[in-house]
Amino acid sequence: MCEQILALYFKSVGTNFFIIPSFLQIKADPANVKVFRESLRKLGDVYVNDAFGTAHRAHSSMMGEGFQQRAAGFLLKKELTYFAKALDNPERPFLAILGGAKVKDKIQLIDNLLDKVSEMIIGGGMSYTFLKELHGMKIGDSLYDEEGGKIVGKLMEKAKKNGVQIHLPCDFVTANKFDEHAEVGQADLSEGIPDGPPGVFEFEKFSCGTKSFMDLIVEVTETGAITIIGGGDTATCAAKYKAEDKVSHVSTGGGASLELLEGMFTVETPSLLLQTYCSFQYCQQCTVS
């Protein structure tokens, strides 16, 4: 529908538009960056960014420099609108479910969300760092982030101060090797994991926890809850379990959504970011009734 509206508009004003190949492989040394940007400016009169997945990158093709008319595309607007619902003034209760391998990669994310959420579930590889630091749990060969472990105590202190309850795994499916056909065992928090690698949802034997989460997310979406899937691996998981059209929103941005949730942008909220990012004057002129 969006494409039809744009096509009708450009046809009505006698304007041409075209699609150019990806700039991913194009490199320019510092001396030629200005020339490259000017060459982009000559391609058109209006700059529209509809690539949320790369909106956090300061690349020449993403900056829109030199264009008086700049706008957010329909996808970018949709992404920021949904994240605004989660971050600007979220409805309560607000639950964040976090995974990933290393705590140090998610410190800023956890810290920022502790100011916003009611409860937080930490799973995946980084949960073992929390369990070892907080409970002295044996984790075998499961992932342990030594650098991230140093900040676990401070994160828990902030959670307590803000009244945020953090949930960690209490039982586990274990394996004797990192393989889809590995021998499967069970362990709990008290006895720990004697040995073996962490599980992955790509292996059917170890997918129960992840699939259960996805099923519950779909279930609460049906009750009217706003559910947002962010991150490349999580989006892949949603696709694997055919849940993409059963949740409120699946973000197209991995790093972009992470930085937005981390509060890395210079404006305070996604709503302000949407206003700051672009001028909607041209978009309003494009409206076809």
Residue pLDDT, tens place only, 158-195: 999 999 999 998 887 777 667 677 777 777 776 666 44
Do 61 and 99 fall within a single domain? no
145 and 214 share one domain: yes
Q: Are residues 38 and 133 in the same domain?
A: no
pLDDT greater than 50 at residue 199: no
Two tokens at 190? 């008290």
**Structure tokens given for 38:** 């000017």
Q: Answer yes or no: do 139 and 192 share one domain.
A: yes
Q: Are residues 131 and 213 in the same domain?
A: yes
Residue 171: its pLDDT value, please?
81
The pLDDT of 74-100, averaged and rounded, is 86
Average pLDDT, the chain: 76
The pLDDT value recorded for residue 192 is 65
pLDDT in tens, 15-41: 566 666 666 677 777 777 777 777 777
Instruction: Give the pLDDT confidence score for residue 172 in this predicted structure.
Output: 78
Least confident of 5-14, 37-46, 67-76, 135-144: 5-14
205 or 69: whose pLDDT is higher? Answer: 69
Residue 120 lies in a domain: yes
Q: With 0-12 CB in 10 A as exposed, 13-18 as middle and 19+ as buried, what is 120?
A: buried
Q: What integer is the mean pLDDT of 95-113?
A: 85
The residue count of the chain comes to 289
In the chain, the number of structural domains is 2
Whole-prediction pTM: 0.72
With a cut of 90, say whether residue 267 has pLDDT above it: no
User: What's the chain look like in SS3?
Assistant: CHHHHHHHHHHHHCCCCCCCCCCCCCCCCHHHHHHHHHHHHCCCCEEEECCHHHCCCCCHHHHCCCCCEEEECHHHHHHHHHHHHHHCCCCCCCEEEECCCCHHHCHHHHHHHCCCCCEEEECCCHHHHHHHHHHCCCCCCCCCCHHHHCCHHHHHHHHHHHCCEEECCCEEEEECCCCCCCCEEEEECCCCCCCCCCCCCCCHHHCHHHHHHHHHHHHHHHCCCCCEECCHHHHHHHHHCCCHHHCCEECCCCHHHHHHHHCCCCCCCHHHHHHHHCCCHHHHHCCCC
Domain that holds residue 145: 92-225
Higher per-residue pLDDT: 99 or 40: 99
Tell me which of 208 and 228 has the higher pLDDT: 228
pLDDT score at 244: 92
263: its two tokens: 């509060």
Would residue 253 count as lying in a domain? no
Q: How far is CA 255 from CA 171, 245, 258, in A?
A: 30, 22, 5
Find the mean pLDDT for residues 250-257.
83
Q: Is the pLDDT of residue 250 over 70?
A: yes
Q: Is residue 245, in this structure, part of any structural domain at all?
A: no
CATH number of the CATH domain containing 196: 3.40.50.1260
Between 200 and 110, where is the model more confident?
A: 110
